[in-house]
Chain A
Amino acid sequence: MAKVSELRIAGMTLGEITKIYVSSTLGKVSIALFVILIGASIYAAVTLPPNFGSLWNNPLYWQIYPKDAPPAWVNYLSGNGYAPQVMFGREVSTQGSTVRFSFEVDNEYSVPWRDLYIVIKPMSGSSTFTAYLSIRRPDGYVITIGPLLISSMYTEVGTTQQVESQVIQFYLAKYGYMLTVPQGLSAVPYIFSTVSSGSLKPLKGIYVINLTLIANNPSKGIGNRLISLVLEGNVYGLMGTDAVGHDLWLGLLAGFPLSLEVGVVYALISTAIAIAVGLAAGFMGGVVDEVLTRLTDFVILIPAFVILVVLSVLLRLNIWQAMLYLAILSWGGAARIIRSITMQIRTAAYIELAKVGGASNLWILRNHALPQILPYALYLIVVGVPGAILTLAGLNFLNLAGANYPTWGNILYYAEQYGALESGMWWWVVPPGLLIVLVAVTFIVTALAIEPIVNPRLRR
C-alpha cells in the first residue's frame, strides 16, 4: 500500500500548525474574535429579512420608530427612566364594521412616551377608518381622543391640532391648568403627565388604552387586518436609533457579513495578482523581471485612495466594484515580498541540484517554490484585509461606493451629515467605528499569530 504523502506547510503538518496556533495567546484571541465575527455574520444573514436593503432606505417604514433615541440600556446606567418603545398588536378578522379592544401599559418612567401611532396592515387605498381612543389614567381620569380619520398604514396621533386641543381641554377641565404644547411637538407626553402644585409632573401607574375602530364603509367591514398601537419611546433597542428612526442594531448587524466578504475577496484577488507577478518576476528573471519590478514599484507608488475616489464618483461604483479596483491598484507591496522570496528560492542550491537532475521549471515551481510561498500568501491575505476594510469604509464615509445594505462607513457619513457629533449622539457615532476596528484588529491579531508559523526564525 502506498503511503499517503502528508501535506506539509513550511515543514510542518497541519496538526502541528494547529497546535502552535492554538497554544499561543494571540492565536486564542484571534480564534475568539473570528468566532464573534462569523457568528454575528451568520446571525445577520439568518435574522435580517432578504429585502432589508430596501427597507432600510424606506423612511416610511421607520417612522413609527423613535428618532435620535439612545439605546434602551442607558436606563440602567443613568437611572433616568426613559420610556422604551412599546407596541401592542392584534389580529382582527371580522365582517362587522366596528372593533374595540384595550391595552394596558405600566408607566414607570420619568420621561414618558413621545408619540402614539395607530398602525393598520394591510391598508388599501380605498378603505378608511375612524378611530376613537380613550385612555384611563391611574388617577381615575379618562382622556378621550377622536374621532381620528385613518387613511394610511401609519397614523400619527400626537401632533394633530384636534388631539392637541383635546389634551389641552382635559387639562383645563380637570386641573384648571393652561397647557401649552410647543409648536410641531406631540401632545402625547402630556397624556402621561399630571399637574401637581402648579407644574407638570409625570404620572406613574397603569394606563388602560381603549381603541375603537369603525370602518367608514360599513358594507366592506373591517376584514382581516393586523391592528397595532405603538407608543414611541425615548430609548430604543440595543443600539438606539438615528435621525430617520433606523434601528441601528440592525444596520450594524448588516455590516458584518458585508465587510468580511468584501475584505476577504479583496485580499484573495490582490494576493493572487501579487503571486502571479512576483513568481513571474522572480523565476523568469531578465527583461520580464525588469519590467515587472518597474510595474510593481509603480503600483506601490499609486495613490490608490484618491484614484478610487475619482473612479467612484465618475463610474458610480458600488462597494464590490470599488473593491475590485482597489485590488487592481494595490497588490504592489505583496508582489515585492513574493518576488524576493522567489529570488531566494531560485538561487538556493537544491534548485540547481533539481535542475541538474533534469527537473522542468514547472516541476520546480510546483514542488519547491509553491509550498514555500503558500504560507506567505496566506499571511499576505490576512494582512491585506484590514487595509481594504479601512479604505472602503473611508470611501463609504464620503458616501461613495455604496451597497444595498447599510455599511458602517455609510452610517458614520449620515451621522456626520445630521450633526450627530455636535449633539453628542455617541450611540450613532461610536459603535460603527468600533466595529470597523474590531474587524481590522481581528485580522491583524491573526496575522501576528501566524507570523511564527510562516517565518520559522520567529519560532521559539
Chain B
Amino acid sequence: MSMLRGIALRIINLTVILLVVLIVIAAVLSGPASQVLKDTIQRETSEMVTTIMLHHPMTPAQAEQLKQTIIKQLENAYGLNKPVYIRVFYVLFNILSFNWGFSYYPDAYGVPSGSVVSIIMFALPGTIILDTLGILLSALIGIELGLRAALKYGSLYDRAITYYGAVDSGIPQWWVGILMILVFAVYLRLIHSPIVFPYGGIVDPQYYNVWLYDTAKAFINPKILASLLYHMVLPMLTVFIVNIGGWAYFARSVVLNIIREDYVTFARVKGLPQGQVVSRYIMRPAMPAILTSIFISIPFIIFGGFLLTEAVFQWWGLGYVLNIAIVGVPTPDMPVILADTYMSTLLYIVLVFILEILIYYIDPRIRESQG
C-alpha cells in the first residue's frame, strides 16, 4: 500500500514537471506554433473554398470574402486572436492532442504524407531502439567495468578506467560516429576488406517500406532484422565508446565509498563469498547513488549525443528528422522541429520516469521516507 502511494506521488511529481516543461516550451514556441497553425488554417480554408466553389459558383470577391470569414472563425476557434498567455494553453492543447499540422517540405522526409504526426511517428521506433538499447547496454557494461575497477583499487586497470571515464565526457559522440564511418565504412572499402559497414541508414533501402509502415513485421522477418543489426553496429559502437566511460566512472567512485564501510569489511570477515559480498553488500546500496549521479548528466547525453549521432548515421529517428528539418531543407521546417522537440522531451521524461521508479524500487530509504 505504502509503495503504491510512493509511486503515485512520483508519478504526480513527474507529470507536474512534464507539464511545466511543456508550458515553458509552449510559451517559448507560442509565436512560431501560432504561425504554423495559421498556415494550416489558410491552406485548409483554400481547399474548402475550392470545394465549395465546385458546387456553388461564386465571383472571386465572394470567394475571398467567404475565405476570410472561415479563416476568422477558425482563428477564433483556435484562439489565435487571444493574448499570448492564453494562447500558450491553446498551443499546449494542440501539442498534447497531436494536432501538429503539416510539414513545409513534405517530400524531404521520405514519408508519403506531409503530416507531421506521421513523420514523427515513423521516426520514433528507430530512436527508441537505439536509445534504449544504447543506454541500457552501456549502463550494464559501464557499471560492471567500474565495479571491477573499484575492487582492484589502485591497479593499472583501475587507473585506465578512471582516465577513460574522465576523458570520455569530453568527446562529442557525433564526432566519434564520423570517425567510425570514416574508418569502418570508407577506409575498409578502400583496402577492399571482406567485411565493410554501411555508410548509414537504418535498414537496406529495399526494406524501407516494411520498416516504415509495418515496423513490427520488420522484426519478425529475419532478413530485415539482420539488416537492422548490421546497420546498428557502428552507431551502437559509437554510443558504447562515449557512454560506457561515464557509467564506469560514476560506478567506480560510488562503489569506492561503499567498499570502505564497516559492514562490507564485516561481511568479508564473516567469510561470505566475494560474489555475495559484491552483489548484496556493495551493489545493492551503490545502485541508487549511481543512478542518481547519472541522472544529472542525462540531458546532455541524450539530447546532445543521441540526436546528433542519429543524424550522422542517417539512422531513421528523431535526430535524423530534426537534422533534415534544420539543414536538409531550404528554410527551417518549423512544424517538424516543434513536434520533434516535443516528442524527444516526452521520450526523455519517460526515461527519467523509468529511472525514478527504478531508484525508488531499489532504494529502501526513499521508499520508507515517503511510504
Contacts and interface: CB of A to CB of B under 8 A. Distances in A.
A425 to B, nearest CB: 9
A313 interface: yes
A460 to B, nearest CB: 12
Q: Give the interface centre of A303, A330, A423, A429 by most chain B CB atoms within 10 Å.
A: A303
A426 B187 CA distance: 10
B interface, over-half SS: helix
A391 B190 CA distance: 33
22 contacts: A300-B296, A301-B352, A303-B345, A304-B303, A305-B300, A306-B307, A310-B341, A313-B337, A314-B29, A387-B169, A394-B174, A397-B308, A398-B308, A398-B326, A399-B326, A412-B175, A416-B178, A421-B181, A437-B167, A437-B170, A437-B172, A437-B175
B179 A430 contact: yes
Interface of A: 297-298, 300-307, 309-311, 313-314, 330, 332-333, 336, 386-387, 390-391, 393-394, 397-400, 412-413, 416-417, 421-424, 426, 429-430, 433, 436-437, 440-441, 443-445, 448
B300 A387 contact: yes
Given A386-B169, A433-B172, A421 B182 contact: yes
A443 B170 contact: yes
B17 interface: yes
Interface string B299-315: 11011100110011000
A436 B172 contact: yes
B170 A303 contact: no
Given A306-B307, A306-B322, A314-B31, 12 more contacts: A301-B21, A301-B349, A303-B348, A311-B28, A387-B169, A394-B308, A421-B182, A424-B187, A429-B179, A433-B172, A433-B179, A437-B172
A153 to B, nearest CB: 32
B79 interface: no
B344 A306 contact: yes
Q: Give the interface centre of A310, A332, A386 by most chain B CB atoms within 10 Å.
A: A310
A398 B199 contact: no
Q: Give the interface centre of B20, B187, B299, B323 by most chain A CB atoms within 10 Å.
A: B299
A390 B332 contact: no
A310 B29 contact: yes
State which size class the interface on B falls in.
Answer: 35 or more
A375 B29 CA distance: 39
Contact of B172 (A314, A394, A399, A445): A394
Contacts of A304: 299-300, 303
Contact of A298 (B20, B170, B186, B327): B20
B32 interface: yes
A300 B170 contact: no
A306 B312 CA distance: 17
Contact of B337 (A305, A309, A416): A309
A-B pairs with lowest CB-CB distance, top 3: A440-B170, A305-B303, A433-B175
Contact of A433 (B25, B178, B340): B178
A416 B186 CA distance: 14
Given A305-B307, A313-B326, A397 B300 contact: no
A437 to B, nearest CB: 5
Contacts of A412: 175, 178
Contacts of A391: 300, 304
Interface in B268-295: 295
B21 A314 contact: no
A368 B88 CA distance: 45
Contacts of B312: 416
A398 B323 contact: yes
Contacts of A298: 17, 20-21
B158 to A, nearest CB: 14
Contacts of B303: 303-306
Interface of B: 17, 20-21, 24-25, 28-29, 31-32, 166-167, 169-172, 174-175, 178-179, 181-182, 186-187, 190, 199, 295-297, 299-300, 302-304, 307-308, 311-312, 322-323, 326-327, 332, 334, 337-338, 340-341, 344-345, 348-349, 352
Contacts of B352: 301
A224 B74 CA distance: 70
Given A300-B296, A399-B327, A310 B28 contact: yes
Given A390-B300, A424-B186, A309 B322 contact: yes
B61 to A, nearest CB: 37
B17 A424 contact: no
Contacts of A386: 169-170
Contacts of A333: 296-297
Nearest to B325: A313
Given A309-B337, A397-B308, A448 B172 contact: no
Nearest to B322: A309
B332 A436 contact: no
Given A298-B17, A397-B174, A422-B186, A306 B296 contact: no
A393 B178 CA distance: 14
Nearest to B323: A398
Contacts of A398: 308, 311, 323, 326-327
Contacts of A306: 303, 307, 322, 340-341, 344-345
Nearest to A386: B170
Given A304-B303, A307-B28, A440 B171 contact: yes
Nearest to B345: A303
Q: Give the interface centre of A306, A412, A437, A448 by most chain B CB atoms within 10 Å.
A: A306
A292 to B, nearest CB: 15
Nearest to B168: A444
Contacts of A430: 179, 182
Contact of A424 (B25, B182, B302): B182
B178 A448 contact: no
A307 B25 CA distance: 8
Contact of B326 (A305, A309, A393, A448): A309
Contact of A393 (B172, B322, B327, B345): B172
